[in-house]
Amino acid sequence: MLKVANISFGYTSTEVIKNISFKANKGDYIAIIGESGSGKSTLLEIIYGLLHIEKGTVSWNDEKLLGPNFSLIPGEDFMKYLPQDFDLMPYTTVEENIGKYISSQDKNKEKRIKELLKVVDMIEFSQTKVKNLSGGQKQRVAIAKVMAKEPDVLLLDEPFSHIDNFRKNKLRRDLFKYLKSKNILCIVATHDTTDALSFADKILVIRNGKLITNKAPEALYTNPKSAYIASFFDEINKIPLSEIDSNDISKKSVLWYPNQIKLTKKEGIKATVIASYFKGSYYLIEAVLNKTILFFEHPEKLEINQQVFLEFIKKATN
């Protein structure tokens, strides 16, 4: 088990990580999400042992990890960390980059290289020199490289940022299935919440260096405690209750995702259409409700300035 207990850290006197705690087991996939500058990458570097902390502890199987001040070479042997720069050997082949991290004494070395190439969909480029690859291809090689030693813990920082959308979905499925099959704990810092919602066991949401929630994806999506959390998963409507109920004099607001607001033919809450955005299987409709802009989903395009009546399916008070 990985245990992060009450850690705080600052590059200067100002702390960028503030009293963060969580636990994770082998085979788990933990996603860390938060706006840019919230501390996601810093947290990964602390866990791996690149940054020294004075407050709090990081431990593995009840053994405290001492960090860079006590290690000749920073980083833990049982972990692998893939930062946003890939650290590949440009003048050697894809196969050689991956094979470097598998012992020559391993009788299954060639089989393992091919297995990893298949996971990242790079078999046809096995003999290509890295310098001749695209950014997305290099990122896939880097992912295979850090998996080559089959670490107990794998830390990934924005692992799919350079990869085309059409390839990204398959890569995510193959990668996370592989990690589960090998019982590897994977912690991913990401802006792409598809990584988190579809595959993570737990999602950690960080804001201004603080861990504000740590829950399963379904629980976090269906019951977000703030517009900040909900905004990572979809457009979010934060609507004052007084806009919906003229008798309400409170200052409370409600949160709705666009798929929780429906057009109704009955008399209801009246809004005016501003724009329609084609999303493939539906249109995202932008409308104004009194003084509040909101978004809802509809199967057809609506005309600008069209008056519509809305039904609010589900809500969470904020």
pLDDT in tens, 65-115: 988 988 888 889 999 999 877 789 999 999 999 999 898 889 999 999 999
Give CA–CA dist 54/8, Å, rounded.
Answer: 8
CATH code assigned to 2-224: 3.40.50.300
Give CA–CA dist 168/115, Å, rounded.
Answer: 18
Residue located via tokens 């000749």: 72
Please give the span between the terminal C-alpha atoms of the chain, in angstroms, as a whole number. 35
Give CA–CA dist 135/161, Å, rounded.
Answer: 10
Kindly report, as residue ranges, where domains of CATH 2.40.50.140 are found in the chain.
237-317
E strands in 130-172: 153-157
Phi, psi (5° rounding) for residue 224? Answer: -70, 140
Give CA–CA dist 132/103, Å, rounded.
Answer: 26
2: Cα within 13 Å, side-chain hemisphere: 25
Q: Which amino acid is at 235?
A: E
When pLDDT is averaged across residues 174-192 and rounded to a whole number, the result is 94
CA-based nearest residue to 156, from 94, 85, 256: 85
Evaluate whether 27 touches 184 at the Cβ level (below 8 Å): yes
pLDDT, tens digit (0-9, with 9 covering 90-100), for 23-69: 999 999 999 999 999 999 999 999 999 999 999 999 999 999 988 98
Q: Judge whether residue 317 has pLDDT over 60.
A: no
Residue 315 pLDDT: 57
Residue 316 pLDDT: 52
Kindly report, as residue ranges, where domains of CATH 3.40.50.300 are found in the chain.
2-224
Choose the weakest-confidence range: 44-53, 148-157, 163-172, 216-225: 163-172
Tokens found for residue 42: 């810093």
CA-based nearest residue to 200, from 24, 6, 17, 12: 24
Bridge partners (DSSP) listed for residue 31: 188, 203
Per CATH, domain 237-317 is 3.40.50.300:
no
- Mean pLDDT, the chain, whole residue set: 92
pLDDT, tens digit (0-9, with 9 covering 90-100), for 199-235: 999 999 999 999 999 999 999 999 998 999 999 999 9
Evaluate whether 80 touches 146 at the Cβ level (below 8 Å): yes
Phi, psi (5° rounding) for residue 249? Answer: -110, 10
CA-based nearest residue to 137, from 156, 149, 123: 123
